[in-house]
Amino acid sequence: MRKAKINFMNEKISRQMLFLVCMVLSTSAFSQNSGSFSGTITDIRNGTPIPGVSVFIENTAYGTVTDFDGNYSFQVDLPESGYLLVASYLGYSTEKLNVSYSGGDMTNNFTLSEDLLSLDEVVVTGNPSGVNKRTLGNAISSVKSEDLVNNGAIAVDQAISGKISGALVQQNSGDPAGGISIRLRGPSTVLGNSDPLYIVDGIIISNSSNSNNLVDLGGNSQNRLVDLNPNDIERIEIIKGAAAAAIYGSRASNGVVQIFTKRGKSGDPKFTFTTNVRVNELRKEIDYNTVPLAWVDPFDRENLETVAVERYNYQDEFFQSGFGIENFLSVNGGNEKTSYYISGSFLDNEGVIKNTDFQRIGFKTNITQKAFDWLDISAGLNFTRSVSSDIPNGGINAAYGAITGFVFSDNSINPSPDDSGVYPVTSLLVPRTNPAEAVNRFDFGQKVNRIITSIGLNAKITEKLRASYLLGLDFYNQSATAFIPINNTSPNGNGFSRRADINSFQYNSDLNLTYQTPITDDIESTTTLGGSWQYEEFDRIGIEADGLAPVVQVASDGSILAQGETRSQISYWGSFLQQSFGYKDKLYLNGAIRLDGASTFGEDERNQLYAKASLSYVISEEDFWEDTFGDTFNTFKLRGSWGQAGNLTALSAFQRFTTLNPSSINGSPSLIPGTQQGDLDIAPERQEEIEFGFDAGFLNNRLGIEFTYYKQDVTDLLLPRELAPSTGFASRIENVGDLENKGIEILLKGAPIKTNDFSWDITATFSQNENTVTRVAGGGQFSLAGSFSTNFVIEGESLGVFYRQFYAREADGSISLDADGYPFRGTTADGESSKVLGDPNPDWFGSLINEFAYKNFKFRIQFDAVQGFDVFNWNRRLLDNVIFGGGYNVGQELLGNRPKGFGGAQAGIFEEFVEDGSFVKLRELAISYGFKPPFTGVDNVEISLVGRNLISWDDYSGWDPEINTAGQSNGVRGFDFAGVPIPRTYQLGINVSF
């Protein structure tokens, strides 16, 4: 009995011991172990440390970035297990290391090799977790953060100029916040917008250039990308072609510019402070009349009598050297649960036109919170307040303005005011403004308050299923005022006042699901299902008046000239399904379908289905390739894609309807139909594009080449079709046109020298696009609004060609002259008085960037070239006319080197003023010196000196061929009329990291 009791007790103790052991083992298995990961990351070629490398443990929130010496260190609290330690940096191949962690401190060093083609770069193309660039069959370009700063640019679109193949970046105005146009693979619509879709951290944002809808400033309208500070940008990804639209929708049919802002990293707070001072100056003056003579009678060609006068350089009256300052401070940090990035900035930038200025105050924050092991929450906020002081420059619509006054003025008149402060009239024949008065007395300005914010959820539902949701909002209020005081020299001599406001609001709500699973050991499947709802609302109100009383500046107290209000609401919706297969991490097949809709089109036509397919094959990873070509071609990837898309920008919110205009008949209210008839069955434009190319790395990846050929066909092009007068309408917008873009894009990257002390990197781009309007129903051609009937849409020609009067010529091609020695207009064989005179679309464009580093010194030089395009020089058409008298050629007439009135005879022959706009510019020149100071707490100090737009090699007689008075217009390009020239900029800066 006692023995049984003892056995029972021993068994009980054994069970207790076993339970205790299990509890200990269980606790040990699930307990967290504190420790750290640290190490150094260097370049495999020369052993130099690489700062800024992201080092993290995959599928956790633990990670950091390397410091100036390439060192990293971060604390962890993880259960014992195996993990994947990743080192990733743009421009280098990603390295992954399997580590077994059981607590304590671990040291792991990495050596990274350059990835000139960025095939290992993770890019975002609709997949919540991103995809490796090697899997994509379509071209995608990236610009990293260091390429966006220290270049003299104040806006993101300025900064990427020349850095992306296939992207034509043109600055339309040299105003302090002058607008930029970006065209990816040419224009794809006539009435709509050919700008790409801009997305900031998943938020679809507006890049509107509506400032000229508020007050007419000529061509120096802002576009709203200027509200973003390049210092806040981590990287930019640009997806070109219709293949991108299959994922992002038809609003992305012109390509996508994805902007990713900086985010926090785990670790102690890291601060960055940057301050820059800059000088903006006129690069060159144009020739003007310096001859101290004037005609007694400028209208009589036979009367050669002159009188002595004094000539004035009016350019000195409105041009200046502008100064600027920019300060930027950011901090980022966090822990394993929460990371943050916060920045504040101030910019004050004076223009080269007197009394013009742009100020921008910005605040940016990004916060990421790991709510659970399976859920991350991110939130971002960007607030910008900008204020500009503007001077109108006339141009297309308004008759007042500084540069407009200059081209119409007789520069034998002293433009300075008399002792009582009254400015003289300098334009004697046509009512225009004394340019000195415009810059000294006119008061034009704009204020913008903008908020871009979002909240996002990223969930790891299972090991194979992920989901992401993002709600993004973009709102801005833009308010503009214009005031011209009474007793002035403009056509509004009794004063002028205008006030206009815009409220723009839009949001996008996106949900994506991704299921990734291996089918076999060699085949990986990724399925993505997504949906999006987008809404935009645009309200505008304005009032203008003249007849102001003394000291009165508000429009409501004058004689009302016009007042109006517009409202617009547009909804967009879409869903897509994408399927991708990867075979042995070297062969990838992708396909997608997307349904898109927009409220602007007819109810039976607004929903359209589009498809996409692509193939990517990294053939250099095949054994036969390595055995045969491995010593020469280290990397070789073939790719091809096909895609469909629509264009949803050609119609405004209610343009499919026949509009009714309010009126009054015998004192009673009435509605009168507009001149344009509506079409309730109107459909979106469609485009189909095919592209193929290759990415190749040579000479141990010291040389990389990307080549792409594409062909894009746009059908159902929306154009205004002329109607018979019997219909009661002048025109109707219909799907009656087609156009085509085709071309090539080449990117060359090289690293000829890499040593411990010296490195040399080269980047070159070459892009060629041929644009042709292949069909225009109902007549084959029409002029584009806002071009003075100069830019045309003509079947068989490029969009926006110049079509006007031309010289009569002799059989040998020389200009025909009449008996008195004056030119006259010619006619075609068909008896037409006009013909195509030039093309504002370039034959090709490219860039060459060289970057050198010697110890702590860095040097960068960038040349941009745009070749084979024409500019219509409206300024010279007026300056050279003797009835105004301010141009250089009028002086030549006074000296007897040209017949009197020769410029007046040329004024009606538009061929004379179409000039070759081809240029090569020294776009960027920068030198910097970085060092670690001897005192603690400061990681690095960098001092830089930058020049921008320093030299332009061109034959253009105007200030600058890189200009467009019509602003961000799609078809009216190469149009130079009273536009502000792009300045030369010098910048001195200091950057401190601590």
pLDDT digits (tens, 9 = 90+) for 901-923: 999 999 999 999 999 999 999 99
Residue 91 pLDDT class (50, 70, 90 cuts): confident
For the cut 90, the answer to whether the pLDDT of residue 387 exceeds it is: yes
Kind of pairing between the strands at 443-460 and 465-484: antiparallel
Which phi and psi angles does 304 have, rounded to 5°?
-100, 15
Write down the pLDDT at residue 93.
75
pTM for the complete prediction? 0.88
Q: Which helix (H) or strand (E) holds 318?
A: helix 315-318
Write down the pLDDT at residue 742.
95
Query: Cα(947)–Cα(925) distance, rounded to whole angstroms?
Result: 5
Query: Cα(208)–Cα(963) distance, rounded to whole angstroms?
Result: 18
Alpha helices per DSSP H over 828-921 = 874-879, 888-894, 902-906
Task: Tell me which residue range forms the domain holding 683.
Answer: 145-264+317-401+442-800+839-869+917-993
Query: Cα(649)–Cα(255) distance, rounded to whole angstroms?
Result: 13
What is the DSSP secondary structure assignment for residue 262, as one 8-state letter?
A: -
Write down the pLDDT at residue 18.
40
If DSSP states are collapsed to H, E and C, what string results for 36-55? EEEEEEEECCCCCECCCCEE
Does 158 reside within a domain?
Answer: yes
If DSSP states are collapsed to H, E and C, what string results for 924-957? EEEEEEEECCCCCCCCEEEEEEEEECCCEEECCC
pLDDT digits (tens, 9 = 90+) for 225-261: 999 999 999 999 888 876 666 667 778 888 889 999 9
Residue 127 pLDDT class (50, 70, 90 cuts): low
CA distance to 35, 292, 322, 400, 985, per residue, from 280 (Å): 53, 32, 5, 25, 5
- Give me the number of domains the chain comprises: 2
Does 622 reside within a domain?
Answer: yes
Does 311 reside within a domain?
Answer: no
DSSP 116-161: TT-TT-EE-SS-TT-EEGGG-SS-EEEEEGGGSSSSS-SSHHHHTT
Q: Which helix (H) or strand (E) holds 209?
A: none
Count of CB atoms situated within 10 Å of the CB of 79: 13
For the purposes of burial, counting CB atoms within 10 Å of the CB of 380, is it exposed (0-12), middle (13-18) or buried (19 or more)?
Answer: buried
For the cut 70, the answer to whether the pLDDT of residue 386 exceeds it is: yes
Does 581 reside within a domain?
Answer: yes
pLDDT digits (tens, 9 = 90+) for 827-865: 998 889 999 999 999 999 999 999 999 999 999 999 999
Contact 156, 199 (CB under 8 A): no
Q: In this structure, are 631 and 769 located in the same domain? A: yes
pLDDT digits (tens, 9 = 90+) for 566-609: 999 999 999 999 999 999 889 999 999 999 899 998 888 888 88
Query: Cα(23)–Cα(29) distance, rounded to whole angstroms?
Result: 10
3-state DSSP call for residue 720?
strand
Query: Cα(831)–Cα(311) distance, rounded to whole angstroms?
Result: 44
Does 674 reside within a domain?
Answer: yes
Q: In this structure, are 843 and 716 located in the same domain? A: yes
Q: Which residues of 683-815 form beta strands (DSSP E)?
A: 685-698, 703-722, 731-754, 758-776, 781-783, 791-794, 801-805
Q: Which helix (H) or strand (E) holds 22?
A: helix 2-30
Contact 367, 264 (CB under 8 A): yes
Task: Output the domain CATH number for residue 788.
Answer: 2.40.170.20
Does 881 reside within a domain?
Answer: no
Q: Which residues pair with 804 in a beta bridge?
A: 835
Does 421 reside within a domain?
Answer: no
Write down the pLDDT at residue 32.
67
Does 945 reside within a domain?
Answer: yes
Q: In this structure, are 19 and 163 located in the same domain? A: no
What is the DSSP secondary structure assignment for residue 605, as one 8-state letter?
A: T
Write down the pLDDT at residue 10.
44
Residue 211 pLDDT class (50, 70, 90 cuts): low
Contact 395, 977 (CB under 8 A): yes
Residue 362: both structure tokens together: 């910005």
Contact 359, 390 (CB under 8 A): no
